[in-house]
Chains A and B, each alone.
Chain A
Amino acid sequence: MKLINLVVLPIIVPLFIGTVLLLFRKSLLAQRALGLFGAAATLVVSLFLLAKVAEDGIQVVTLGSWAAPYGISLVSDMLSILLVATASLLTLLVLWYSVYSLGEKRELSFFYPATLFMLTGINGAFTTGDIFNLFVFFEVFLMASYVLIALGGERIQLRESMKYIIVNVVAAALFVITIGYLYSITGTLNMADLAVKLGDIGSMGVISTVAIMFLVVFGIKAGIFPLYFWLPGSYYAPPLPVLALFGALLTKVGIYSITRVYTLIFTTDVAFTHDMLMMLAIATILFGSIGALAYMDVKKIIIYNIVIAVGVILFGVAAFNEVAVTGSVLYLIHDMLVKALLFLMIGVLIFITGKTNLREMGGLIRHYPVLGWTYLVAVFALAGIPPLSGFAGKILILQGGLEGGFVWQSIVVALSTMVVLLSAIRIFIYAFWGAEKSFNSPPKAKYVNRMIPVVILFVITMGYGVFIEFLMPLFQATGTQLMDSSLYIDAVLGGEK
C-alpha cells in the first residue's frame, strides 16, 4: 500500500472495526475492548496522517483512480486532519468513560459499533473533497446518531429522536436540492473544481443565493440562528456520553462545512455572503446567551453554551482574514475538547447527586475537591482566560475581527464570554459551594473510575492551552491553507492543470 492512501484510514478503520463488532453482540468484553481499540486505532492513524500533512502538505487520494474532478477525491489538509484527530481522540475518551457509566444493557445494544460508525461519518465528512460525498457522510453519521439518540428507548429519547429525525430529514432533502442547484450551474461536484469554476465565473447573484442555501443546510447542523431551535431539546435526551459526543462533534461538522465552503468555494461575493454569515453569527451568540442564562439545569446550561461557541467560531470565519480564521480553528478545537470535558464533568456531577437542577445541589467541594477544582479551571478555559485553552483562539478571533473593522461585533463576542462565564460558574457556585446537602452518593470507587478519563481529558485540554506554542505551526499552516485556496486546488487538480 502506498503511504498516500493513509488518507482513507481514519474513515475505513472505524467502519471496519465497527462492522466486526457486530459479530460479537453478546460479549461485553469484546464490545468494550474492540470499541476502545477501534477508536484508539483511528486516533493512531490520524496522528500519522497529521504528521504526514504537517511535513508534506495537503494529502489527496482520488478513489478508483478516476482523476479529479471525475472521481471522488479525499483531501486531508491541515483543517481536516486536525479535526479528524480531535474527533478520534474525543471518541476514545468518551468510550472509555462509557465503560463505567453507560450501563451494560446499552453497551450490549450496539453502542460501540454505532459510535464507531458515527466517527466514520464524521471523519469522512471532514476529509472528503467532493460535495456530494459530503452529503453521503452526513447521512452516515446522522444515521448513527439516530441510533445513539434512541438507544435505550426511554420515553424522552423516543420523543426527542422523532424531532431530531424530522429536522435532519428536512435538512438532508434541502442539502441534496442545494447540491442540485450548484451542479446545475457549474456541472461539477469536486470542491476544488468548484472553487476553480466559481472563481472563473466571478460574482453572480444566483451563486450567492446558493451560498446562502448552503449556509442554511449546514447551519441546521451547526446550530446557528434561526436554525438551532431543535438542538437543545434533542441533545438533552440521550445518556451523557452520547450527549458529550454530540455536543463535542456533531455541531462541529456543520461548522467545518460552513468554514470549508466559505473559504474554498464561495469567495467571490464576500461582501454579501460573509456579512450575512457575520450577522447570523452575532444573532446566534445572542440567542445562545438567552438560553445559557435562562436555566438552572446543568445539562441545558452547557448545551446552550454550544450555541454561543458556534456563533463565536463563525464570527471569525465571517471576518475572513487569516488572523481571524486561524483563531476560529484554534477555538474550534478548543471548544471540542472543553465541551466534551464539561459534559463528562456534569455527567459525574449528576451521577453523584442524582439531580440535574442546581438549586438542589450544594457544598460538594468538601468531598469532591478534584471534580470541583478541575471543573472551575475548565470553566475558566471555556471563558478563554489565559493561559488556558480558549485564550489563543479568542485573542486571534477578536484581533481579526477588529482588523476587519467589526468593532461592535467584536465587543459583543468579548461580552459573550461573560455570559459563558456566568452561566458555567453558576454550576460551580451552586453545586460546589454553599451549604452542604445530603445525597445518596454512590460508592467512591465508581466516582474515581469515572474521573480517570475526565482527568486525562482535563490534562489534554489544559495542555492545549499552556503548550499551544508547540502546535502553533500547525494552526498557522491551517490559516494559510484556508486563506490561500490555490494550495488546496493545486493539491487536488494539480496534475491536470
Chain B
Amino acid sequence: MIHINIQNLELTNFGSYRGTHKFDFSTSTGRMGYAIFGEIGRGKTTLINSLLWALYGEVETSVELEGRIYTKKRPIIDSAQTQNDFSKKWNLPLLNFAAYEEKDYTMSVSIKFEHKGSTFHLLREAKSRTPRPRKNSDIAVQPHLSIDGRTVSAQLIQPEIEEIIPQKISKFFFVEVDSIKSYSALLFAGESSGGIVEDIEAILGMPALEHSKNDFVWLSEYQQKSIESIQTTDKRNKSILRTLEGIDKRIDSIRRDIDLIGKDIDKQTKRIEEIDLELEEHPSAEEQLDRLKRAKENKSKLETTLKDSYDRRRSLISKDAWKILLQPKISHLSSHYSELSKKKELKSKTLTELELSCNHAELEINKGGAECKVCGNISEGLSKKEREAKADDLITNRQIAVDLKAEIELFGTPEHDLVSLSSFRDSRDSSQIETLEDLISRTTMDLFDTKEKIKSINVELEKADVLKVRELQAEKIACIELRGSLKDERKAASRAESDDVEERVKTASNLKTDETATPAMTKLTKTKKIADWLTNTFDKTLSTYKKNARISVEKLATEAWLSMTPEPEKYRGVKINERWQTEVLSSNGKSLPIGNPGHRQTLAVCIFDGLRKTSGRKFPTFYDNPGSNISDVVLQKMAKHFWDNTDDQIVMLSHGGGLRKQNTMDLYGNKLAKAWELSYSSENTTTSVKEVIQ
C-alpha cells in the first residue's frame, strides 16, 4: 500500500505565481479535505502543474481545436516572452512573465511529503545558464531529493519518484478538466482504445503481474528444452523431434523478428525524442510563420486603406476644392462691397435732393410769381436783388452736384460685385480632407511599423530555419506512424509465437521417455510441472484479479455515481465490460444513453475514483475545476462525496461558477482541513494566496 500525505508545497516564480508562495497542508484536525477557490486564471491549474513539474520535470497542456485535442509541452521560457507577443500562444512558458521582465530567471517548486514513515523533500529548480536567457536550452533544471534529510543521488531521483507515483498514472491523481474531457470521450466512444486500457491496467498494477507470469513461462520452456535434450536419445521420438525442431526454428525466427521489431520501435521512440529536443531549439519557427502571415495580412489591409484614402482625397481635392480657398476672401469682400453699396446709395439720395433744389431755384429766378411745377408753390415774384442771390446759390449747388456725381461714379458697381461674389460662394469646408489626411498619416505610420515587423520576423525566420522545422515535424509524424505499424507487426508476431508455442506443447506431449533416464528426467519433469502450474495459476489469478478489479471499479464508480447524481433513484449503477467500455444502467437494468457532456464527465470522474481506490494507492488527489459542463448541484454533491470520510488528501479547486466560496464553506467548512483563496495581487495579474479562515 502506497500512502502519501503532502505536508507543504512552495512555488517560486512558477506560472502566475510571482515570488515565493507557500501552501501548508499540515493539520492537526485529522481532516483530509482541502478547497482552493479562485476565478479563472488566478492560478489553480498552475498549482497542479507545479506539482507535475516538481515530480516529472515537464508539464503538458492541451487545447481542443475543431473537435481534436492537441497536446504540447510547456517550455520554461520561449520566444513569446522575449518578444512580448503571446497572441495565438496556448502552450505558455512556465516562468512567471513579471519575473522574466525583471530579469529574475529562477523558478522552483518544492514539495514535502510523508511516505512509508519517512519525510521526503523534493525540490526542482530552474536556473539560467546565461545572463539573458532566450530559449529553453538556456535554462538548466536540477531536481533534488532528500529522504529524512539524506540526499538521494541525482540519477536515482526519477526512479524513486516513478516508484512512488509513475508518471503514466499521475493523470488519475492530478485531474484536469482537459484530461477528463479526453477520457470521457474515449470511455464512451465505443472504441477499444489501447491507450486508455493500458493506462487503466497501469494504475491497477497489471503490467507487474504480467511480468511475473512471463518469468514462469520462460522457466517452463527452459525445463522442457532440458527434458527434450534427454529424450533425443530415444529413437522412437525421432520424427516428433524433427517436427519440434521445425517448430523451434519458427519460434526462434519469430522471436528474432519480435526482438528486431522491438529494437526498431525503440529506435523510432528514440528518434521521436531527439526530434522533440531539436524542435525545442526551434520553438518559434511555426509561430514566426504565423506572425509573418498575420503581419502580411495586416500590411495588405493597410495598403488597401491607404490607397482608398488617397483616392478619396484626390477626388475631393480635384473636384472644386479650390472654392474653399476663396471663401475667407469672399466674406471679407462681401462686407466691403455691402458698405460701399450703402455709401453709394446715401450719396445718390443726397444728389437727387440737391438736383431737385437746383431745379426749384432756377424756376424761381426765371419766372417770378409763377407756380412751381415741381413743388406747387406759387411765388409772389422776387426782387432783382433776391434773384441775383439765388442765382449765386444755384451756381454753387450745381457744382456740388457735379462733384457728388463724380464721387458716386468712383464707387463703381458694388451691388453687381456682390452678385458676382455670390456665384463663388460654397458651403463645404476642408474637414473631410483633414480627416482623410489624418487617416493617411496614421495608416502610413502603421504600414511602416508593419513592414519593419515583417523584416524582423524574416530575420528571425532565417535564424529559425523553417524548412528544418518542417522537415523535423514531417519526420516525427513518419516516425510515429512507422512505430504504430511496427507495434501492430509485433502484436501479429506475438500471436504467431503463441500459436507455435501451443503447437509445440501439444507435439512435445507425444514424446516418449526412456525409463532408464529417470532421476534427472523426474527432477526436470517435476520442475516443469511446477513452472506450468505457476503459469496457469498466475494466468487464472491475473484473470481473476482483472475481473475482481473491474468489479471493484464498477462497484466504487456506482457508489460515486449514485452519490453525485441529483436523481439516484433513476439509476441502478455503472457497468464496465472487459474492454473497459462503460455504460450507465437505469433502475430497471436498461442501458441508458449518456449524451450530455456533463454526465460523461461526471461518469469519468466516478471511474477515476473507482480506479484510484481499487489501485490501493493513497496519493493526494487534486480535482481542478472538475468539468466545465458539470452542473452546480452535481459539483456540490461531488464535493460531499470526496470530502466525506476520506482518508486520502482530496483537494478540490474551484472557480466562482462551480463551488462558490461562501456556499462551500457554509456547507463543508467543518469537513475541510484547510482552504485557500487565489486572487490577483493589487498591482498586477500575478497570483496572491490567502488562507480562508473557517
Q: Decide if A and B are genuine partners.
A: no
Residues of chain B having any CB pair with chain A under 8 Å:
none
Residues of chain A having any CB pair with chain B under 8 Å:
none
